[in-house]
Amino acid sequence: MVVDGRGERASVHGAAEAAVILLDTHAMIWLAAGHRRARPLDRFSRLYISPVGLLELQFLLEAGRLALVSGRSIDALADDPRWVLDEPPSGRWFTAACATSWTRDPFDRLLTAHAAVRGWRLATADEILIDRLGPSQTLSL
């Protein structure tokens, strides 16, 4: 028996498809762009994004390190039907982020705390996160 991020029971059969995945910011970008690195996400039926990922996208846009397809906006990305925007309780979320003292990247801190508070895996290609959190808490892209 597997317990999902909402505390509901799911059968072991189909557990991969039932697993809840939180997308790291680059995973969201890759999925939105149809990049081959996002293909492992195709088998999951429940993908979530964090408000932190949207804020990081805004930072990247403002710094000139990211350009969205013409006519696309951060709001449009938030409303993409391939995922759902999740907003965990801020007290638990930020307390967990404070305890994540092994990184100085505020976005990584908040994203890993978000996944931990929900009990979800973080889809990422960030080797530091993969090494630090391990395969039970990450989906390596």
Q: How many domains does the chain have?
A: 1
- Look up the domain containing 79 and give its range: 2-140
Residue 8: pLDDT over 60: no
Task: Summarize pLDDT for 95-140 with one digit per residue, the tens.
Answer: 999 999 999 999 999 999 999 999 999 999 999 999 999 999 999 9
Say whether 19 sits in a helix, a strand or coil: coil
Q: How confident is the model at residue 72 (pLDDT cuts 50, 70, 90)?
A: confident
Q: Residue 47 belongs to a domain with what CATH number?
A: 3.40.50.1010
What pLDDT does 123 receive?
98
Residue 77: pLDDT over 70: yes
SS (H, E, C) 32-73: HHCCHHHHHHHHCCEEEECHHHHHHHHHHHHCCCCCCCCCCC
Percent of the chain clearing pLDDT 70 (strictly above): 86
Q: How confident is the model at residue 4 (pLDDT cuts 50, 70, 90)?
A: very low
